[in-house]
Structure formats: C-alpha cells, structure tokens
Amino acid sequence: MNFRRPLAEIRCQSCLSPVCLEKCEPDNTVRKLFFWKLKQREIRLGERTVIMGVLNVTPDSFSDGGKYSDPDRAYARAIELEEQGADIIDIGAESTRPGSARISAAEEIRRLIPVLKRLKDKLTIPISVDTYKSEVAERALELGAEIINDPSCLTFEPQLARTVAQYNAGLVLNHMRGTPETWAKLGPIADPIGTIARDLEATISRARHLGVEKTRMVIDPGLGFGKRKEDNSVILARLGQLNGLELPIMVGPSRKSFLAHPDPEETKFASAGAVTAAVLAGAHIVRVHDVREMRAATDVVDEILRCRTE
C-alpha cells in the first residue's frame, strides 16, 4: 500500500477527513488473522485478544517505579502475571516516561539480566524485552527472550533490527515522535494516523532491508510517545486505518497520562475503556499493567467481535 499519495485525494467515506489509505475498513471489520513468528514458536493473532503484561524493573517508571527492581520480586510478579492471564511478559529496564533521561547499555543490562536468568525456562509464555539498544537485545535474546519491543521504532539504533534478525526473534515497532526529553515541547499532530502510517511504513521497509521477515513484525501506534491527549483519541478512533500496512497491531494505553485520574482505580477503569476501544478498532495485542482486569474486559470484547461474524 502506497501512503505517499496526496492526502487531499484520499478521504474517509464515514468522516470525510483525509486519511492515508485508499479506503477505510468498515466498522464491522473482523480482525485479520496472522501467525506471528518468534524465536521458538508462533502466536496466532486475531482469534482473541493477546495480552502483553508489563513488568518494569526500573527505579523510575511512571506507574510502578521501583516496585519490581528487586530480581526476586520481579520473578514473582512475572509468575503472577502469567497466572492472571498474560500471554506475553514484556520486561523493561529503562523508563521511557516523559522527561526521562537515557541510561547506558551496561546499566540496562545490569537491571535486566538477573531477572531473565531467574525466569529462564520458568514461564510457558514468551518473554519480550522493551529496549532500543542492540547490545541489550542481544543479551536478552541469548537468555531466552523471544521478542524485542523497540519503543523508538528503530530511530535510536536502526541496527537493532539486524540483531533481531540474527536471532529469528519477534519485533514490535512502536511509533515514537521526538524523544522523552522533548515530548513536553511538542505540539499536536495535524494528521496523527496518516503521519504514524507513513513513519511505520518507512520503518517496516528499513527492518526488512536489515533482514527482519515481515511475519516477525508487529506495529504499535505509540500512544503517548510524543502525542498530545487529543492525538491519542484520534489514533484510537482511526486505528483501523493502519490495516493497510498488513501487520498485526498492538496498542498500549494502560495508565497513560491522557487517561490519568487522581484515584488509581479510576485510571484503571479509564485504561479498560481505552483497551476496549482499541480491540473493537482492530488491535490484536494490548500491552497492559493490570492483566486480570484487562483480561476480563477483552474477553467481553472478543465475544462481541465473534458475534459480528455470525
């Protein structure tokens, strides 16, 4: 699909706004089925929502900083997330919260490796590692991780794709605008979903050039990653327009600042609302902190989607 046609020539027939695809998917579109190839297995995507459970082993995460920085507590939490219904565990050792500073590969490895060593062969579900650094990715893949979730969409270290290809791992391409240090200064995006689609198309091409098979990729529009509150709402509303990229879609709305309430319980409910909207719009995977609660929500949404096919 060519996203470089003039946007003025391409308009959504339901909202008459410019879009980046030749046609929008109808509202009752059923998620396309994909087989996501990982290092040691395949995951069938599209029949039901896959839950990626977040495990931060950082001291400064925006939502649970320091809570699981101890390897033993991180290990226990990973086991708990699997028991609660997670299909994938996503481990992050460097915060990408707004305003956060970058850390060295050595420090990220120091935080990450003890947890991966404890978890090796202890889970029945695959481990993903949230990193943009090739050196960190290589160590993680050596210790059993099967997915690299790149928060920078190959903009920080493009050679990360080559490392992923060497290990036949899965790769999540998370769209990022700017850097965490500059997000507060960025204005709204004139055409959020069109911009994201074009950027992702270019990144997919770059990853394939570096040896990553398309069957190993998943795309993520990157809610909150350099987007304003109003941008995030547009992205969720028009998520289906990314279907033209012919890849599974992951969305991570969980506890993002545009959903935040003073009461954490209310934030959890807001996250469930955003998760529901994402799945109804075509998301194959949702990345969440509260696995048990979001599993309950996605089970309902999956049943609704099944009814669309009857």
Catalytic sites, residue numbers = 256, 287
Residues 6 or more apart in contact with residue 95 via CB below 8 angstroms = 56, 58, 60, 61, 62, 65
- CA atoms of 242 and 245, how far apart (whole Å): 6
- Residue 154 φ then ψ, to 5°: 65, 15
- End-to-end CA, the chain: 30
Cα four-point dihedral sign 75, 76, 77, 81: positive
The pair of structure tokens assigned to 138 is 């290589």
The answer to whether 221 and 180 have CB atoms below 8 angstroms apart is no
The answer to whether 132 and 160 have CB atoms below 8 angstroms apart is yes
How far is CA 281 from its chain centroid? 15
- CA atoms of 186 and 5, how far apart (whole Å): 26
